[in-house]
């Protein structure tokens, strides 16, 4: 099988078994827990679903690696399985981690509870202020961890400085690329060591499985795979098949969602009842220039505030008819949430406000519906909820 050049081709064709299995155009699901012994000499090479090596897994891993320009990849039972297993491979008790200060809630909890209990300490950094980092490095600092677009404010850290800093201090650089996807940002091309995704979101794209992936060098992925083999958070072959299927449309979905979110963000931005819109594709975004330099598109995620705070936000949401009020993101259906009540409810209210997450902030995952219909619905909801047009 030749190496495919473009992402559009890779997501469809990379990883296909050669020769095709019984001529099947689509890689079949190998729903068999164990496989006949064939003389394997290492435990990790025995064919068994938990060892992440059925033909369905092998095809998926090759596609994932190709898509992020990594040497190798591993799928796991959830985004958190991929993140926890990766961190438990990169870090050992006594090690120290630098991590962005506004990570996905589950990751933040993992670092501050589970890893802390194992003797792995984290210092949270302002990932947009490289000058503040050197003072935080310790002799036992091993890694630096960031996200390509943060939740729910869609901030973009100084990603180039993170890579350079990691090289200068011999740290492993890790990035959660869930919100951007390789369609919009390719971390390995920019020098990151390991790329993580909650494949539950855009990679699968259909809101019907939970899965995670990690992509990087052969050296790291082999070590992470052996760790996952022991920890057991392996992806079921049927879910692996669905993820492979979802990936085939990643590029067309993401480009459409990029374009829809841009339009929706612009319409909200110019509306007098809207106080603020967070979207990297708007010139008003604090890191718009950086986004344009590093990113091919700005994702289908945006957040905004309407005039009048939490009460007005609730009234507005109650008057929308098209979006579904639900957490998570990246599927075909447009979803709305208020982070203060959902994803960031566990955060201390003072810390939450300081981070810029107001009680009235509304987060939107733009789906695959008509963007005109989404805009019309948002506009009628602003009107019906009588959101003040004077800030």
Ligand X SMILES: *Cc1c(COP(=O)(O)O)cnc(C)c1O
**β pairing state of 324-325 and 362-365:** unpaired
Contact code string over 107-126 relative to ligand X, x by CB under 6 A: x-------------------
CB 141, CB 98: distance < 8 Å: yes
Integer Cα distance of 182 and 31 in angstroms: 29
Q: How far is C-alpha 266 from the geometric centre of its chain's CA atoms? A: 24
What does DSSP assign to residue 48?
B
Q: Which of 80, 215, 268, 322 binds ligand X (CB under 6 A)?
A: 80
104 as an active site residue: the answer is yes
Q: Which of 108, 176, 193, 314 binds ligand X (CB under 6 A)?
A: 176
Closer to ligand X by Cβ: residue 137 or 153: 153
Q: Closest CB to ligand X belongs to which residue? A: 79
Closer to ligand X by Cβ: residue 93 or 327: 327
Closer to ligand X by Cβ: residue 89 or 198: 198
Q: Choose the stretch contacting ligand X; rule: CB under 6 A; options: 24-32, 102-110, 127-135, 376-384.
A: 102-110
Q: Which of 302, 294, 300, 286 is nearest to 128 (CA)?
A: 286
Q: Which of 377, 351, 352 is nearest to 364 (CA)?
A: 377
50 as an active site residue: the answer is yes
CB 352, CB 238: distance < 8 Å: no
Closer to ligand X by Cβ: residue 237 or 339: 339
Helices 218-231, 79-90: axis angle to 10 degrees equals: 110
Q: Assign residue 225 a region: left if phi > 0, alpha if psi is -120 to 50, beta otherwise? A: alpha
Closer to ligand X by Cβ: residue 27 or 343: 343
The CB-of-51 to ligand X minimum distance in angstroms stands at 21
The CB-of-377 to ligand X minimum distance in angstroms stands at 24
**β pairing state of 324-325 and 212-216:** unpaired
Q: Which residues contact 11 (CB under 8 A, 6 or more apart)?
A: 63, 67, 247, 248, 249, 250, 251
**β pairing state of 141-147 and 301-306:** unpaired
Instruction: Determine, following the binding rule CB under 6 A, whether residue 200 of this chain makes contact with ligand X.
Output: yes
Total site size for ligand X, rule CB under 6 A: 16
Instruction: Determine, following the binding rule CB under 6 A, whether residue 210 of this chain makes contact with ligand X.
Output: yes
The CB-of-174 to ligand X minimum distance in angstroms stands at 12
Q: Which of 52, 53, 78, 262 binds ligand X (CB under 6 A)?
A: 78
Q: Which residues contact 32 (CB under 8 A, 6 or more apart)?
A: 49, 54, 237
Instruction: Determine, following the binding rule CB under 6 A, whether residue 53 of this chain makes contact with ligand X.
Output: no
Q: Which of 186, 198, 262, 337 binds ligand X (CB under 6 A)?
A: 198
CB 107, CB 146: distance < 8 Å: no
Q: Choose the stretch contacting ligand X; rule: CB under 6 A; options: 155-163, 193-201, 236-244, 273-281.
A: 193-201
Closer to ligand X by Cβ: residue 78 or 225: 78
Positions in 212-241 near ligand X (CB under 6 A): 212
Helix, strand, coil percentages for the chain (3-state, nearest 5): 40, 15, 45
Q: Choose the stretch contacting ligand X; rule: CB under 6 A; options: 26-34, 49-57, 171-179, 298-306.
A: 171-179
Query: Of these residues, 47, 201, 253, 363, which one is catalytic?
Result: 201
SS (H, E, C) 188-214: HHHCCCEEEEECCCCCCCCCCCCCEEE
Q: Choose the stretch contacting ligand X; rule: CB under 6 A; options: 75-83, 85-93, 266-274, 286-294.
A: 75-83
Query: Of these residues, 13, 48, 50, 376, which one is catalytic?
Result: 50
The CB-of-300 to ligand X minimum distance in angstroms stands at 13
Which residues are known catalytic residues?
A: 50, 104, 176, 201
Binding site for ligand X (CB under 6 A): 78-80, 104, 106-107, 147, 151, 176, 178-179, 198, 200-201, 210, 212
């Amino acid at each position: 099988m030749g190496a495919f050049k473009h992402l559009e081709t890779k997501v469809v064709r990379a990883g296909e078994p050669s020769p095709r299995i019984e001529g099947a155009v689509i890689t079949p699901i190998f729903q068999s827990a164990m496989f006949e012994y064939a003389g394997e000499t290492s435990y990790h090479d025995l064919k068994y679903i938990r060892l992440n090596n059925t033909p369905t897994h092998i095809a998926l891993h090759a596609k994932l690696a190709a898509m992020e320009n990594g040497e190798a990849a591993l799928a796991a039972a959830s985004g958190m399985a991929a993140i926890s297993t990766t961190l438990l491979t990169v870090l050992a008790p006594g090690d120290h981690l630098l991590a962005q200060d506004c990570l996905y809630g589950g990751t933040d909890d993992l670092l501050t509870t589970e890893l802390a209990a194992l003797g792995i300490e984290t210092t949270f950094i302002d990932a947009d202020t490289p000058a503040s980092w050197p003072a935080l490095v310790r002799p036992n600092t091993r890694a630096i961890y960031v996200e390509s677009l943060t939740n729910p404010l869609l901030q973009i850290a100084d990603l180039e400085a993170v890579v350079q800093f990691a090289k200068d201090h011999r740290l492993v650089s890790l990035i959660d690329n869930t919100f951007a996807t390789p369609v919009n940002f390719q971390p390995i091309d920019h020098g990151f060591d390991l790329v993580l995704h909650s494949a539950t979101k855009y990679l699968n794209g259909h809101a019907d499985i939970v899965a995670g992936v990690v992509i990087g060098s052969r050296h790291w992925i082999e070590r992470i795979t052996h760790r996952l083999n022991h920890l057991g958070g392996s992806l079921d072959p049927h879910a692996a098949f669905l993820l492979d299927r979802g990936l085939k449309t990643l590029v067309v979905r993401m480009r459409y969602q990029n374009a829809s979110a841009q339009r929706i963000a612009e319409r909200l931005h110019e509306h007098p009842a809207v106080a603020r819109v967070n979207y990297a594709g708007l010139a008003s975004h604090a890191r718009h220039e950086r986004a344009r330099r590093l990113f091919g598109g700005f994702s289908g995620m945006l957040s905004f505030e309407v005039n009048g705070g939490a009460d007005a936000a609730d009234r507005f949401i109650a008057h929308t008819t098209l979006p579904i009020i639900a957490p998570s993101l990246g599927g075909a259906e447009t979803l709305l949430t208020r982070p203060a009540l959902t994803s960031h409810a566990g955060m201390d209210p003072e810390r939450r406000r300081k981070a810029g997450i107001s009680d009235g902030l509304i987060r939107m995952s733009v789906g695959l519906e008509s963007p005109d219909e989404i805009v019309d619905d948002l506009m009628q909801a602003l009107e019906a909820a009588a959101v003040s047009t004077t800030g």
